[in-house]
Structures are given as C-alpha cells and as structure tokens.
Structure 1
Amino acid sequence: MRHSSLRRTIALLAATAAATALAAGCSGKDKVPSIGYAVDTTVTSYNGGTTAGAAAAQAVFGRVLTGFFYTGPSGQPVADSDTGTAKEVPGEAQTIQYRLNPAGVYSDGVPTSCDDLVFTWAARSGRFPGFDSASTAGYEDIERVECQPGSKDGTVVFRPGRRYLPWRTLFGAGELMPAHVAAQVADVPDIVAAVQNDDRPALDRLAQFWNTGWNLAPGDLDITAFPSSGPYRIESFDLDDGLVLVANERWWGDTPATGRVVVYPKPADLAAHIEDGSVAVVDIGTGSLPELNLDAFTVQQLPSRGVEQLVLSTGGVFESDAARRAFALCVPRQALFDQLGRVTDAPETGLGSGLSDSRTVQPDSAYYPAVTGAADQFAGGDVAGAKAALADTGKKQLTVRVGYLAPDARRARTVSLIADSCKQAGITVEDASTPDFGSAQLSGGAVDAILGGPGGLPGPAGSLDGIAAVSGLRGGSGLNAGQFRNGRYDAITDQLAADDNSTDQLNLLTEAENLLWAQLPSVPLFATPRTIAFGGGLQNAVAGPTRAGSGWNMDQWVLQR
C-alpha cells in the first residue's frame, strides 16, 4: 500500500474513529515541527527479530525499518508497496515471489536487496545455530531463499509438503534487517553465499552480531550501525530526551508529514513530558500510570488484541503441573477482569467483553465459543481446589514471585489481588517487579511468573494472526520465557498454520486449548486494556490497540497549535 492509498485508508478509518475529532478546527494554527509519542514499552534493541527487540519492533520502529507488510490498527497485515511487492505464485511447493522497490535504499545509501531476506530468514529459520530468534514461526518452514546478491528480486520456496497460511506475517515491518551492516561488522563479504554454502564460521560471526550488534544503549549510539529503510531514521537516543526519529532524507516514498517524532519509552518520566507539553500521543496500559494528567487529551480506552496473562515457569516451584494448577485455581480471574480488565463502554460480546479463556484464539473469532470450555473451572479463586492441587505436590505452602516492568499501578494491583486470594490456599504471592524487568528473569529463575502480554512482553501487543501468542508456547522459541515444551502442542500449531479446513481448525484449536488448560504454561486473564490519548490539534492519528501501537502511521501525523 503506497502512502496515497494509506491516506485513503486513514480517511476511511477516521470516519469511525473517535480520534477524528482532533482533526477539526485547525485553520489559523501553526504546524508543530516535532511530535512526542509516549509508549509503555522498553527499547533495548533495533532488531525486532531477537527476543530483546520483539517488544518494540513495530510500536517504535515500524516506520523506521519497513517491511513487505505491517500490522494495521485492527490487527490485520497490510501490504506496503513502498518496500516492495510479495505474491504467491504457482508451484509444486508453496512459493512467494518478493520484489523490492527499485528505488529502495537505506539511509546510508546502500540499496535494499534480497540479501536482507536471506539474512533475516537464516537468522530466524532455526536451521543455523547461534541466532537468538524471538520466533521461528513460518521461517522454519522455508526451504530456501533464491537470491542473486544485490538483486531486488527474491523467491522464497517452502519445504515440500509444507504450507504456511499466514505468510504475510514474514519479512514485515520492524523485522527485515539490513544485511549489509551485519556483513561489514562480521567480515562476511557475501551473506548469500555464506548461507547457501552453510559457512559455519561466517554464520557464527553473523549470529554474534544479530544477537547484540543492534542493541540500543541510551547516550552511546553509533548511528552508522542503524540505517533506516523507512520514512524516519534514528538521530539520537537518551533517557531524558527520548528516542529521536527524524525524516530520512533518502526515503523514496511520501515525505513524512512531520519531520521529527520523539519516542518516550519506559523508563522515561512520561508524566513530566506530558506536563511540559512535549507529548501529543500517549499509548499505555489502562491504569498503569494513574499519575498522568490527560485532561488536555482526547482519551480512548480500548481492549487490545494482546492477552494480559501470567506466564509461568515450568521449573522451580512450578516444575509440576499440580503446582501450576494450584496457582491457576486460586487466581481470581473474574474479579481481576471486573476490577482491572473492563474498559469504558465494554462491548457485550467479543473482544473486551469478558475473560480471555484462550491464549491464542481471539474472542471475536467464530471458533472462540467452541474451544474454550476447559477454562470454566478457572473462572475465580477456587481456594478449596487450589489446596487440593497443592496437596498433590506434597507441599503445604508455595511462594510465587511475579515479575513485570515497573512502574505499573494496574499490574501492581493485579498481583495484590492475586496475593489476597491465594494466601487462603497456602500460596504466598510476591511482587517482584523492577524498572529494568525482562523476560530473561523468568528463564533465569529470578522470578516464577511474568505478568504481561504474549511471551511476557510489556507494551502494545496482539494481532489477528496471533503468531506471537502461539510462539510464546512453542518449544525452543525465544518468546517461550517459561520454557514450556510439549511436542503435541508444537505439532498442532504446525498443522493449524498449514490447514485452512474449518473443521480441522476447530478440532485442532479445541485440542490445543484443552492441552494448555491441563498443563497451564500460562494463565490468560483478559484483553489488555489500552489507554490511547491524542493531544488537541493532532491530525491523522488512529488508535492501534495491537503490537504496532498507535505509532503504526506516525509518518502521517500532523500537530497544529
């Protein structure tokens, strides 16, 4: 979708979105040259394909590192022909033909090429050891990427007998990385040849760079390592001054409507930046930062497509199914939704209408009512059931440390309510939140559970495809912080991604949910409520309660005061 088409899409969305009221009455006002964007995620890596970078990949860098598709405000994949075109072509094996825009060039002057596809696939395929990939979903099903080094054309061929229905989620915004940077630092003159020839020494050096070479340390940034393929590029990053994005002079598409956007992620002092007028867009978890003064903003509360959940370890105190069951039974899920998960003007059915009884199936899906029966026994704090399950572990008491990214008043209240309920069953729940919390603290044993979105990640989350939610429970996935492993679950998700028969889908989804409610690698709560606020005079902003956040179209924002 080119930007002229994007503007038409925005106009259509604006007809039904509350944000459109902000576009009115701007005559006689001056355009503000810089717009502040406050979002409740961390920014630790430029590389959205890594576990560390997955949280901010699209919400922050979706218009910096573009891809063949991006996540739209309803959670759907949207084609972005500024990057190029992708189409499925006939063949014995599933085959996708990618053609990069002939005008495409990174902000450092290096043309985009199919080398970028080869490198991204190699890093995320699971075929080559050493790469820390957040998810291999879809990429692991690719047999090869046909590419002449430097070419604008690439052909992706899937493995014989395999089909990946949500192929439009591959090589997307925030995740298609500049291969030439890695090649230069890792001293690999030809990445395509290194991958095709399985050159392990070269691939090892590439993996080292992939894992940490694009880490973002505030105040210490070599901009040459972070070239952009989108309308914005990084200018600087500082805890006080935020992540500064400026118009990319080499961008071949429509010039950004505003030349400078400053992202304020956690742990920035969002209250101070709002108070001094620096921020015009706020996208945070509802109730997470009650100290924010949003009186001057038009505010919406929306249920997101990310499921608020407790991701449990499968080791330590939660080594047994019985221990996880005891904890899940004492969690007051219904009370948590009633007090903390219900948004203003909650719908009667569908997304945001009640508890989320599935980790992977959206409440507005036709399959949802038929696949969630196993959740019925976990609706509220069942103290007696929790005691019985705890007795099955041979223990009389259990201590559970719950971690999340602080500060977050809603999640602090969530832990407190769980603690009050579970103490009656002999389970002590402790708040283990920290301002630098990350999912690695669960896999490392520092906590026993994470309170967050899919994969335990903070910030904007969710999409119609649910790939991140599925990956968060697949064995070996970087997003699988609790290290849950079940071969049958993995096989089910593989078949779901390849089989579009509705009867098969229903049967497989039902089996998956029954399995997950029996083994409890996580406890879903509700659609994470998001507060999205736009300042007076802001035009073209459309709320995006998905993993792409409301920054999905930041290059179209205009602020007039």
Structure 2
Amino acid sequence: MRRERNDAARPRPLATLVALILVLALAGCGTTVVSGTTIRIASSQLFSSANPKTSYGNSAANGTVSAATNSQFNYYDNTPRLVRDTSFGSYRVVSRDPLTVKYTIAPGVTWSDGVPVDAADMLLSWAANSGALNTKGFDDSSYLDRETGKYSRPFPPSVVHFDGFSGNGLQLVTKTPVIGDGGRSLTLSYDRFFVDWELVFGVGVPAHVVAGKALGIRDHDAAKRAMIAAIQTDDAPKLAKIARFWDTGFNFSAAKPDKDLLVGTGPYTVTDVVPGNHVTLTANPRYTGAHRPKVERVTIRYIADPLAAVEAFRRGEVDVVSPQPTEDVVKQLVSVDNATILSGFDGAYEHLDLQFDHGKNGTFANPEVRRAFLKTVPRQQILDSLVVPVQKDARLRSSQVFLPGSTGYQSAVKSNGSREYSRVDIAGAKAALAAAGVASPEVCVLFDPSNPRRVAEFGLIQKSAALAGFAVTDCSSTDWRELLGTPGAYDSSLYALRPSSLAVSAVAASFRSDSTIDNSNFYANRQVDGLIDSLDSTFDRTAQIAILHKIDSLVWADAYGVPLYQFPSVTAFDDRVTGIAPSPLAPNLLWNIWAWAPVKSAK
C-alpha cells in the first residue's frame, strides 16, 4: 500500500481543539472516551435498514453500521485473519460426527437498552437464517415491489417466510437447536459436516424487540418466552407474525425510525438517523467488551458523488473518505492539506450479471443470447480507460471464484473458458444471435446512476453492444441495491461484490440455486449445486481447488456474466484521527472503529 502525507497545517475551530483534550470515563468500562469528539465519515450508500440479513437490507452501508454497533463471536481483521471475541461469547465443537457446536454468551452482555443478550436472540437468528421453519414451496417474488425491492403486501396469514441468509451453511441445521446454561447457550447440530461452520452463525437483531412488536407483548422476558415457544412448537400463526416483522420491521422509510429498532450490542449504538442524510453512532455506555471506544460520536454522512465527498473532505466537513477512486478523485485528494492517503487493491470486484429468469424483457433466458451479449462487453477498454489511470498495475479479473493472485487463479484462467470473452467479438456475437433466431434484443441494465465510473461503464457497454444489434437501455436507480433480485426490474446488473469472509464455501452465496444471499439473477445449475455440496465437506486444499476449478468452468460455460476488475481502493483521513486501517473484506473501513482515536492537540 502507498502511504502519502502532506504536512501543511489546516486550522480547526477552537471548540473542537478544546474538546479533544477533555476525557470522559464510560461508567464501568475501565477506559476513556474523549468527551465531545466526533469523527465524520462520508459514505456513498444510504443506511436503509437495521437488519442487513434480509434481501432488502443486504447492503454495504447497512452491514457497516451493523458491524460497528453489534458484537459477534468472531470477526476478520485487516490481515485478514479471523479473530474470536471472547468478551462477547465463546463457541466450541462438542462433536464432529454429527457436527455439533455450542455457542455461549459471556456473562453480563446486554443490548444497548439493558436487556440481556441470551439464547432467545441466538434461536431467532437460527430460525431466520436457516429457513428450517419456512413454509415449504412458498415463492415470495410476486409480493415484491419492482420499484423499491420491498415487499408490497403481506403474505397470507398462514405463511412463514424468513427472508434470511439461507444457503450459506446454516440450512444444514434443520433440527431446532437446544437451549442450555440457564438460557445463555445454544447448541446447533448439523445434518452433515460443513467445512465453514465457524463463519455462518452469529447474533442478529434483538429477539425481545422482534417478538414484542410482532406479538404485541410489552414485557421483554415474556416476549422472548413466547418467541421461544413458537419456534420450539413450530407455531405457524405466531411464527408468521414474527417472520413478517423480522423481514420488514427494521426497514426505514422517510420518517425517523423507532428507537427500539436501533438497539445493538457493540461499542457504539445508533442514536440518530436522518433518512437520506446521515446516521450518528454514539459510544455505548452499556458496552463491557474488549473493544471499548475512544471517540464519543461517529457521524456517517451520505454523499453519493465521489468528487463531492472529496470536496467535503477538503473543506473539513468530513474527516474520513473512502470514495470510489477515479483519476480526478485521486488528483483532488493528494492536493488536500494534512491528509494521509492509503491506496491499494480492495477485496471487492466489479462484475456484470445477466438475469437467467424473471428479467424485464426475458432476453437472457436463452443461453445463446447470453453468450452473444458477453462477446460485446469491452472489458479491456473499461479497464484501460477507467481503472488503469488510477491503478497502473490493474488487470482484468478472469475468474468467477478465485481472487487474482490467490492459489488456483492462474490455472483456472487457462482452462475456465474466460478467454472466449477476453476481447470484443462483434462478428461472433452477431453469429450467436442469428443461431438463436433473435433480432434486436433489448437489455435494460441496473446500476447506480450517482457513480461516475459505473455510468461510464454502462456507456461503453451500450455503445459496443449496439454494434451487434443489442438495444441496451437504462434501468439505473439510486435504489439499485434494494432492487437486486426483484423480478421484472431489469435484465442485467452492473455492480461490485465485496466478500465478508474467506469461506471456502463462499461460492454458494452467488451460484447455489437456492441461495438468497447474492444469487440475484436466478442462476441454477444442478451440477454446480452438487459440487458446492461436496466442497462443503472437503478439507484438503488441493481437492478444494480442483472443485472450485470445475465450478468456475461451469459458470463461464453457462454465460453467467463477466467479472471485470478488482477494485482499486483509496482512503483519506485528516490529522484529527488515528487508528484507521481499512480491511479488504466487509465491513472494510469500520471493522476496527473502536480503535479509532482523536489526536490531542498540543497546547
């Protein structure tokens, strides 16, 4: 990583300098928070839901806020290395056959409203993200609003449908977990061994809030008991209400959200949300864990335009920015006085996906049309014109499953079929359309219209595809993230995927047919499903790589879409803060928010 610093001084208000030297001890925490201090961050995405595990809430912005305000049994640092947080809770393998894992909450851990964190919270997380209690055969697609990505009407009263992260491994826990240790532990038994078991389970939203709101019970303990009973007895009428609130109750509208929805377990808690503008995090006075904060408040301000974010940084309106880097963005950042700049490659990668089913025009149900379109995508031109000016050593990413530079990447690229799409082939595209008997197919592309680089990518794709007869139209929306997977909303999507773990089985999120995590294009291949299942129980790294090679080749053969490039990254912060060390994995910038510290001014 390149590190630059410009030491020219920038004046700060006297009140801020005075505040920096005042110290406030958090009650019972044994650490200090600098009273009156605020760090302001610019974010290109809106905080729209306090439940990032739903299809609607699954965004980088929501995940980032959740990570800063909620503790988990483990997390990735910026190495990246998996680290256990025993101050929150512990887990251990009780049995390997069948795989049985016991999770125990540490004594004294509470939500920010003072309610203890316990087995009820863990049991709700299992129910919501395993899919074990969902009504079999129910399809929620007809209930989605194609304009917003939210559910537009209630499900039938008898339907139980948790819109959780089923498909990431927790679906293998089909038996109801067992509560123990006076309500502080939960023991999960897997139907078969799962190699990434350590990465699939954690505490989500508070059970007392969900059950209380869904069932109309004011007493927190009574609400949790009612929820536990509903899960243990498979009480469909009550579970339907609980699932409905879990799915939609934490989504924000134009109004400020109910404060009950903002409780958390982490070093910070959400204390203010102005929809469409900013979210404020404040040091949690009830937090007793190992990640005790030093800054009193963190404000995350929404600024969609990268250049506008840089200008706000230049004017001292925000203290930390991590904009999508363009040539103009980098030039502007390096000219800012007293700024430290960190740059390199990010874990996220840009890619273009095609809708196999439920597309707006049904264009890509035909595999020949998919192949024809991918032959028109000017991947190298996109890289050379938009990324190389920022990152001179940038290269195309040509694997759907391997990270460039990782073991297996080079050998996969040689044999996975990506070479068919390594350059624009208009003649080949026309021939494929002719073979499919399709003329002038329409492709409406979903992307973020506030992102200059993505707008430029769309324009290059549109121009190139037109040469082969495709009519590429604009389905862009500022709500693009929430629209992913919405039937009838678009034909192709252009966005970035940011991995949150190094799980061997992570490919299941995008490519397993029943995944509700990142399979937004309705991709389904039984052979790929079978390979993913075998990968789940394979320990040997050589064998894992061989299976991943096969998956990579099959996905390319299906003309799933095309990866474009790894994201270049740039983070800038001013002289008021230390401790910033971005991670390549989500939640990226805020993974160690507790370690950020204000710099005390010299007298």
TM-score scaled by structure 1? 0.87
Aligned partner of residue 109 in structure 2, secondary structure: coil
Change (3 A) 1:260 1:218: farther
Change (3 A) 1:88 1:20: farther
1:212 aligns with 2:248: yes
Which of 433, 441, 447 is residue 404 of structure 1 equivalent to?
447
Equivalent residues of 1:282, 1:532 under 8 A apart: yes
1:477 aligns with 2:515: yes
1:140 aligns with 2:171: yes
Residue deviations 1:313-344 (CA, integer Å, cap 9, x gap) = 11311111111111111112222223334475
Q: Which residue of 2 aligns with 1:183?
A: 211
Which of 257, 262, 276 is residue 299 of structure 2 equivalent to?
262
Aligned partner of residue 244 in structure 2, secondary structure: helix
1:81 aligns with 2:86: yes
> Displacement, 1:542?
0.3
Distance 1:168 1:288 in 2: 40
> Displacement, 1:140?
0.5
Which is further off, 444-453 or 503-512?
Answer: 503-512
Equivalent residues of 1:138, 1:164 under 8 A apart: yes
Equivalent residues of 2:5, 2:341 under 8 A apart: no
Change (3 A) 1:72 1:469: farther
1:298 aligns with 2:336: no
Which of 487, 503, 513 is residue 465 of structure 1 equivalent to?
503
Distance 2:262 2:331 in 1: 32
Q: Which amino acid aligns with 1:473?
A: F
Equivalent residues of 1:415, 1:430 under 8 A apart: no
State how 1:42-57 maps to structure 2 within 5 Å.
42-55=46-59, 56-57=61-62
Change (3 A) 1:202 1:527: same
Q: Which residue of 2 aligns with 1:362?
A: 403
> Displacement, 1:289?
8.6
Q: Which residue of 2 aligns with 1:388?
A: 431
Q: Which amino acid aligns with 2:364?
A: F
Q: Which amino acid aligns with 1:299?
A: I
Change (3 A) 1:19 1:493: farther
Aligned partner of residue 190 in structure 1, secondary structure: helix
Equivalent residues of 2:376, 2:424 under 8 A apart: yes
Aligned partner of residue 567 in structure 2, secondary structure: strand
Which of 248, 260, 271 is residue 284 of structure 2 equivalent to?
248
Q: Which residue of 2 aligns with 1:413?
A: 456
- Using the aligned pairs only, state the percent identity: 28
Distance 1:321 1:289 in 2: 39
Equivalent residues of 2:371, 2:429 under 8 A apart: yes
Change (3 A) 1:476 1:107: same
Which is further off, 427-436 or 486-495?
Answer: 427-436
Aligned partner of residue 330 in structure 1, secondary structure: coil
> Displacement, 1:212?
0.6
Equivalent residues of 1:42, 1:265 under 8 A apart: yes
Distance 1:259 1:437 in 2: 33
Distance 2:303 2:123 in 1: 33
Q: Which residue of 1 aligns with 2:187?
A: 155
Large movers: runs of 4+ above 6 Å: 19-22
Distance 1:559 1:217 in 2: 33
Residue deviations 1:102-142 (CA, integer Å, cap 9, x gap) = 12100111111122221111111122221112443111012
> Displacement, 1:462?
5.0
Distance 1:72 1:149 in 2: 30
Q: Which residue of 1 aligns with 2:113?
A: 108
Q: Which residue of 2 aligns with 1:434?
A: 477
> Displacement, 1:395?
1.4
> Displacement, 1:218?
5.0
Change (3 A) 1:507 1:45: same
Aligned partner of residue 87 in structure 1, secondary structure: strand
Q: Which residue of 2 aligns with 1:9?
A: none
> Displacement, 1:405?
2.1
Q: Which amino acid aligns with 2:299?
A: V
Distance 1:289 1:186 in 2: 49
Change (3 A) 1:154 1:267: same
> Displacement, 1:197?
1.7
1:515 aligns with 2:551: no
1:98 aligns with 2:103: yes
Change (3 A) 1:214 1:465: same
Q: Which residue of 2 aligns with 1:547?
A: 586
Aligned length: 530
Distance 2:285 2:118 in 1: 19
Equivalent residues of 2:326, 2:390 under 8 A apart: no
Q: Which amino acid aligns with 2:375?
A: L
Equivalent residues of 1:247, 1:256 under 8 A apart: yes
Change (3 A) 1:134 1:95: closer
> Displacement, 1:423?
1.7
Q: Which amino acid aligns with 2:597?
A: V
Distance 1:527 1:92 in 2: 39
Distance 1:438 1:289 in 2: 25
Q: Which amino acid aligns with 2:179?
A: C
Q: Which amino acid aligns with 1:510?
A: H
Q: Which residue of 2 aligns with 1:236?
A: 272
Structure showing greater radius of gyration is 2
Which is further off, 226-235 or 400-409?
Answer: 400-409
> Displacement, 1:158?
0.9
Aligned partner of residue 550 in structure 2, secondary structure: helix
Distance 1:545 1:90 in 2: 33
Distance 2:332 2:499 in 1: 24
Aligned partner of residue 183 in structure 2, secondary structure: coil
Distance 2:327 2:244 in 1: 36
Aligned partner of residue 68 in structure 2, secondary structure: coil
> Displacement, 1:285?
2.2
